[in-house]
Amino acid sequence: MTEFGDFLKKQIENTGESISAVARGAGVERTTLHKAISGERTLSYIAMQKLMNYFHMSPHEKNVFTEYYNMQMQGRKFFNTRKMIVNLLKELSELPVGNQKHSPEFLAEYIESRKDDCTIWSGTYAVRNIMRRLIDCELKEKTPQIRIFLPAEDEFMMYYLYNIFSEYETGLEVTHIIPYLVYQGIDREEGMKILSRVLPLVLTASEQYRPYFYYSRSEILAVPFPFYMITGKSLLLISENFEKACEVPFWNFREHYGIHFTQALKKCVPMMTVQKDIFTVLKAYSHTVEKSSYYTFMNQPCMGKFYTNELIERKIKKEFPYREKLVAESQRRFSELASVTKEYFTFFTASGLKEFMETGIISDIPRQVIDLVTEKERYQLVENLKNEIAEDKIMGRVVNDERLSLPHYLSFSVNAQNKVDIFTLQQDQQDESIYNIHIDEPLIGASFLDFVHFLPKSEYVFSKEQTLEIIDKLLRNP
């Protein structure tokens, strides 16, 4: 029996009625209801709505029932990875992106007499505390660096590093090897779990945090301290459940682990790479486009396929260094978008479209190098977008922001080769934090590719007709 069938059966039992009586009362076929409970058949959406009304479900019960229904319709694996992407986007939407930071004078002092023997720390709180104190101590060094071999599910380490990079100016360099556990074959959910922990930290620390991974199929059985953290002066060995840690003061042990870490790093793959050079970022945009497909979601619709060479030539600022190179690279990128033959998917928010129509700011090109488009140009671009959505030449949909949050400072693209690219969008002209994060892990990419194909028929976006109505309203009442 599925979760949906089990929940449905309990609801029927709570009424004290027979299945036949419930079927008659709700207006659902008795055979259909029987088979829905056993998992042999899926109810229609209308039948599900009728049952929710008949059972007088509370809002919480409706949410649970609908979630189980969607899980049954989509399959547990796909439902879970899609849900993870939705939750990740929500978390990124709420992530503070301010640039104001402070000096590290706040750091707690670590005045601990060094002993000649190892120190064992017991209990989760004690282990977390020594991890924090060793990191704080390392931050006082001229060139602080930490090498860690820990699973990404260690929330304490990820959150503490996030706090350091988001609040303080620091030269700390962190290299992180992450075991990607795949006990029962390749698991997309594990990849999404890792990404949900790592991506906020990469967005905050940029190139100062470098995550690597390797696929692991072996269980940890006979190793008391399988994980470790190396700082400039310390080696901390950590148990699998984070309830014990061993601080090793001997320099030769630390040096041995450092050599082993370096050798292990060569066998790992970068979880993601970060590029900041503007021309490299523009080339990365091109990597997201294939002859037959282009998939993206961000606050503003991608109207790049409508940018003519003449428009680009006219809008790239005359005073920008290497202007000719930038114009050529931009024209190449947008001509590739214009030549996409089959699937052109762009998901965007109504507020992002409205902002474009009010300001003329294009998100596809860094703000410091491009002039605003005129009011006439804006309306023509949006009119082109509307027409191609109406003719099914573009899969363009407005996001239902009550169900799905898109980070206003990020643009996501995925290609048919399961490669994901995330681009930061400038908040204003003084903001120079534009860069590209490239993710080449195929399971994560497959999850995102599935997600964009799932979106058009999901509750997370408005229908074609609703989308056209929203666009038309903005055109008529800017």
Instruction: Specify burial of residue 261 (Cβ count, 10 A radius: 0-12, 13-18, 19+).
Output: middle
pLDDT of residue 124: 85
Round to whole Å and give the CA distance between 194 and 189.
9
Closest CA to 6 of 60, 68, 52, 57: 68
pLDDT of residue 106: 43
pLDDT < 70 stretches in the chain: 94, 96-117, 182-187, 217-222, 426-433, 478
Measured from the Cβ of residue 365, the count of other Cβ atoms closer than 10 Å reads 22
Render pLDDT for 187-218 as a digit per residue (tens, 0 to 9). 678 889 899 999 999 999 989 999 999 887 66
What pTM was estimated for this model as a whole?
Answer: 0.80
Contact between residue 265 and residue 212 where contact means Cβ atoms under 8 Å apart: yes
- How far does CA 12 lie from the centroid of its chain? 39
pLDDT of residue 42: 84
Please give the helix or strand (H or E) that residue 175 lies within, else none: strand 173-181
Which residue in this structure is represented by tokens 């849900």? 83
pLDDT of residue 96: 63
Q: CA separation (Å) from 434 to 65, 323, 366, 410?
A: 42, 18, 7, 10
Closest CA to 81 of 231, 216, 187: 187
